[in-house]
Chain A
Amino acid sequence: MSPTLVVDIVVGGLITGGIYALVALGLNLQYGLMRVLNVAHGEFLMMGAYLTYSLHTAWGVNPLLTLLITGPASFGAGLVLHRLLYARVLAGEAAEALESRSLLLSFGLLFVLQNAALLLWSADLKGYSYLAVPLHFLGSVFPANRLVAAAVALAVSLAFYVFLQQSFLGKAIRALMQDPEGAQLAGINLSRVHGLCFGIGIAMSAVTGSLISMLFELTPFIGLPYTVTALVVVILGGLGNVAGSLLGGLILGLVETASVYLAASDIRLIASYAVLSLILILKPSGLFGR
């Protein structure tokens, strides 16, 4: 293996992994806190991507600045969806029934969002070019937009991690994850924190979408593969384990990039599904689970 190939795989894998980490973090926040497995997660990514695309092509807004719009807009949408849909299911249900019902709700949401996007933007490929200049790095070449997207994704992920560790609200979130009853006894408003976290999770997905719109062409169908990837990452890192998602995202990015470089590109999905199966069977609590 030549040194250039190693750089290609490692840097390429970290770029992909950084993006995966951010999508997975949002999904994991929703699951870890309220046991809602949001399979429509990737659809919010798709919506964020289209929003950035439309803002950029219609009004020439800088794609990176659109994060300031897609983020808050999707956060608001998350709050509303939580109030309208999930809060009702979450109220007073046995754990397992709750998981199945909220899963079905998000499948419904997936259909709604995907077909709304098809009606709004049609099934044609949409895309634009931004920062598509080559950057030379240790003898390899990477497009600048990928590096920027990965850097922003990693920065947002790390900022969220620090927020979770340091801030008061972050501590409340972690308390609810560890012991919902005890945390509520200590005066934490469960429903409010749930709503906020659902919004934050969806905002993370939409922001990732905005970043991805700089890199790839869009169709209304791009969401589901990202949901699947995020699920693999979340399960890899452990459900409810935020730091695990960060590491899991980077690991999966590396595994996938390596399999594409060393084997074939159509092996990518098979590789990630194989990783998922192995983890589920051998260690369902995730690589870093207790």
Chain B
Amino acid sequence: MAAKLALALLVMALVAAPEILSPYYRSLALAILADVALAVSWAFFSGPSRYLSLATGAFFGAGAYLTAIVEARVPWPLPVLGGALMGGAMALLVGALALRLRGPYFAVFTFGLAELAKHSLIWYETGVTGTVGRLILAPPEPWTLYYTILCLAGLAVLTALALRRSRWGYALAGIGSDEERAETLGIDTTRVKIGTFALSAAFMGAVGAAMAPRWTYLDPQVFNPFVSFQTVIMALLGGATTVAGPIVGAVFLGLASEILLLKFRYLYLLGLGLTLIVVVLALPSGLAGLLRRSSPSPLSSPPAGERAG
């Protein structure tokens, strides 16, 4: 009961935030909510399936660049919708090629995707359109952006919750613990994997599209592998097999980076690396695992009791 009350209060606070907060804190809340959306949507695929995706930066970048291209020519929520479709479509293509690959192959393939997208785009923009960047001259109102991101973060959390208790979610966890067995048990593993991967990529593309107006100038550097890493670190720090874990990780690292990134950039990033090492060595189930010792670890042991059958 108390938890439900707290949740209701939190939602009310988040909805009311743009009215109460100063522009600085509203922008901070916006950035953290975007991180939450990314980390949660990363975790609902990579957490149970244990396919380590490093393609977040590619999907995010695709969404962001799409907004920059269409600019103010289409009314607001449409670029976000377009970003979602774009991310989903990219994931369908990449997934069809790469999800047959297990372990590090998949991680490597997805990792290269952001770089490939960036360099292909630079090549295209300089060679065909003759530009190197795009200006967003008429961004939507700040509160419009805030509510867009809030909706996306909320949707991502609801999707993660729904997925956990669905047949689809059990199938994904089954794939994570033993893919061959899952297949023997009659799960269409390809469909489950690619479907969930595309769903998570759709969120990433939408978040990218919704975050783009925050920068007035965008160039292909928006395909940033750092986005991929940061998302993974956030989700793992919190605990990737829970829904609360990635949220906790995103809020924690979002605040930390806000406070430290500008003042001590290199030291902060160095600390981020150390954090990842410590999490992998000492906290295999993340901060959420500290609170709930019984929760399964994302990458070291198969999620007990969540096997598809």
Chain A interface (Cβ < 8 Å from any Cβ of B): 31, 35, 37, 39, 85, 88-89, 93-97, 99-101, 103-105, 107-116, 118-119, 224, 228, 231, 235, 264, 266-267, 269-270, 273, 276-277, 280-281, 284
Contact: B281 with A89, CB < 8 Å?
yes
Q: A110 to B54: give the CA distance in the assembly, Å.
A: 15
- Does B236 sit within 8 A of A, measured CB to CB? yes
Given contacts A108-B273, A108-B275, A280-B109, 18 further A-B contacts (CB under 8 A): A37-B104, A85-B281, A100-B50, A105-B277, A105-B280, A108-B280, A109-B277, A111-B269, A111-B274, A115-B266, A115-B269, A115-B270, A266-B122, A270-B116, A270-B119, A277-B109, A280-B97, A280-B105
- Does B76 sit within 8 A of A, measured CB to CB? no
Q: A95 to B111: give the CA distance in the assembly, Å.
A: 21
- Does B52 sit within 8 A of A, measured CB to CB? yes
- Does B232 sit within 8 A of A, measured CB to CB? yes
Chain A residue nearest in CB terms to B94: A277
Contact: B52 with A103, CB < 8 Å?
yes
Q: Closest approach, in angstroms, between the C-beta of B49 and any C-beta of chain A?
A: 11
Contact: A111 with B112, CB < 8 Å?
no
- Does B107 sit within 8 A of A, measured CB to CB? yes
Q: Chain B binding site: helix, strand, loop or mixed by DSSP?
A: helix
Q: Closest approach, in angstroms, between the C-beta of B277 and any C-beta of chain A?
A: 4
- Does B102 sit within 8 A of A, measured CB to CB? yes
Pick from A37, A99, A108, A280: contact of B277, CB below 8 A: A108
Chain A residue nearest in CB terms to B54: A107
Pick from A266, A267, A277: contact of B97, CB below 8 A: A277
Contact: B112 with A273, CB < 8 Å?
yes
Contact: A85 with B277, CB < 8 Å?
yes
Q: Closest approach, in angstroms, between the C-beta of A32 and any C-beta of chain B?
A: 12
Asked whether A115 and B299 contact (CB < 8 A) given A99-B104, A269-B119, A273-B116, the answer is no
- List 13 contacting pairs A-B, 8 Å CB cutoff, sorted by A: A85-B281, A95-B103, A99-B103, A103-B107, A104-B280, A108-B273, A111-B272, A112-B273, A116-B270, A118-B266, A269-B115, A273-B112, A280-B109
Chain A residue nearest in CB terms to B119: A269
Chain A residue nearest in CB terms to B97: A281
Q: Closest approach, in angstroms, between the C-beta of A29 and any C-beta of chain B?
A: 15
- Does B276 sit within 8 A of A, measured CB to CB? yes
Chain A residues whose CB sits within 8 angstroms of the CB of B126 once the complex forms: 266
Pick from B102, B116, B120: contact of A96, CB below 8 A: B102
Q: A112 to B267: give the CA distance in the assembly, Å.
A: 9
Contact: A270 with B236, CB < 8 Å?
no
**Cβ proximity bits B290-309 to A, threshold 8 Å, 1 near / 0 not:** 00000000011100000000
**Cβ proximity bits B228-270 to A, threshold 8 Å, 1 near / 0 not:** 0100100010000000000000000000000000000011011
Contact: A103 with B104, CB < 8 Å?
yes
Q: Closest approach, in angstroms, between the C-beta of A223 and any C-beta of chain B?
A: 13
Chain B residues whose CB sits within 8 angstroms of the CB of A35 once the complex forms: 104
Q: Closest approach, in angstroms, between the C-beta of A166 and any C-beta of chain B?
A: 30
Asked whether A107 and B229 contact (CB < 8 A) given A96-B103, A280-B109, the answer is yes
Q: A221 to B301: give the CA distance in the assembly, Å.
A: 35
**Cβ proximity bits B90-117 to A, threshold 8 Å, 1 near / 0 not:** 0000000110011111011101100110
Q: Closest approach, in angstroms, between the C-beta of B53 and any C-beta of chain A?
A: 11
Q: Closest approach, in angstroms, between the C-beta of B304 and any C-beta of chain A?
A: 14
Contact: B300 with A284, CB < 8 Å?
no
Q: A273 to B111: give the CA distance in the assembly, Å.
A: 11
- Does B25 sit within 8 A of A, measured CB to CB? no
Chain A residues whose CB sits within 8 angstroms of the CB of B217 once the complex forms: none
- Does B123 sit within 8 A of A, measured CB to CB? yes
Chain B residue nearest in CB terms to A118: B266
Pick from B115, B119, B229, B299: contact of A101, CB below 8 A: B299
Chain B residues whose CB sits within 8 angstroms of the CB of A276 once the complex forms: 108-109, 112
Contact: A108 with B274, CB < 8 Å?
yes
Chain B residue nearest in CB terms to A88: B281
Q: Most B CB atoms within 10 A — which of A235, A267, A269? A: A269
Q: A35 to B122: give the CA distance in the assembly, Å.
A: 35
Chain A residue nearest in CB terms to B104: A37
Q: Closest approach, in angstroms, between the C-beta of A36 and any C-beta of chain B?
A: 9
Q: A146 to B272: give the CA distance in the assembly, Å.
A: 37
Contact: B273 with A101, CB < 8 Å?
no
Q: Closest approach, in angstroms, between the C-beta of B309 and any C-beta of chain A?
A: 20
Q: Closest approach, in angstroms, between the C-beta of B55 and any C-beta of chain A?
A: 13
Q: A277 to B105: give the CA distance in the assembly, Å.
A: 10
Contact: A269 with B116, CB < 8 Å?
yes
Chain A residues whose CB sits within 8 angstroms of the CB of B276 once the complex forms: 104-105, 107-108, 111
Q: Closest approach, in angstroms, between the C-beta of A164 and any C-beta of chain B?
A: 23
Q: Most A CB atoms within 10 A — which of B97, B102, B104? A: B104
Q: A284 to B123: give the CA distance in the assembly, Å.
A: 28
Q: A235 to B104: give the CA distance in the assembly, Å.
A: 11
Chain A residues whose CB sits within 8 angstroms of the CB of B103 once the complex forms: 95-96, 99-100
Chain B residues whose CB sits within 8 angstroms of the CB of A108 once the complex forms: 273-277, 280
